[in-house]
Amino acid sequence: MLVEIRQPFDLALTLERFKAFGSDPANLWQEGVFRRILGGRPVELEAAPGGVQVKPGDRALVEPVRRFLGASFDLAGFETFAASDLVLARLVRELRGLRPALLPDPFEMLVTSITAQQISLRAALSIRRRFVERYAQALDGVHPFPAREAIAAASPAELVELGFSSKKAEYVVGLASSDLDLDGLDRLPDEEVVERLTALPGIGRWTAEWFLARHLGRPDVWPAGDLGVRKAVSAFYLGGRAVSMEEARVVGERFGPWRTLAAHYLLVGLRLP
Partner DNA sequence: TACCAGGTAAAAA
Partner DNA sequence: TTTTTACATGGT
Can you give the binding site for DNA, defined by CB under 7 A? 17, 20-22, 113, 116-123, 126-127, 160, 163-168, 198, 200-208, 210, 223, 225-229, 231, 263, 267
Q: Which 8-state DSSP code applies to residue 253?
A: G
CB of 148 to DNA, least distance (A): 18
Report the residue number, 28 or 127, with the smaller CB distance to DNA.
127
CB of 210 to DNA, least distance (A): 6
Per-residue CA distances from 104 to 36, 38, 153, 158, 191 (Å): 11, 8, 22, 26, 20
Report the residue number, 21 or 29, with the smaller CB distance to DNA.
21
CB of 80 to DNA, least distance (A): 24
Does the annotation count 226 as an active-site position? yes
**Catalytic entry in 74, 85, 179, 226:** 226
Report the residue number, 55 or 231, with the smaller CB distance to DNA.
231
Contact by Cβ (8 Å): 142, 219: no
Report the residue number, 3 or 185, with the smaller CB distance to DNA.
185
Q: For 51, list phi and psi in degrees, rounded to 5.
A: 170, -125
Q: For 117, list phi and psi in degrees, rounded to 5.
A: -60, 125
CB of 202 to DNA, least distance (A): 5
Q: Across the beta sheet with 41-48, what order do the strands follow?
A: 2-4, 51-55, 41-48, 33-38, 28-30
Q: Parallel, antiparallel, or unpaired for β 41-48 and 33-38?
A: antiparallel
List residues with catalytic annotation: 226
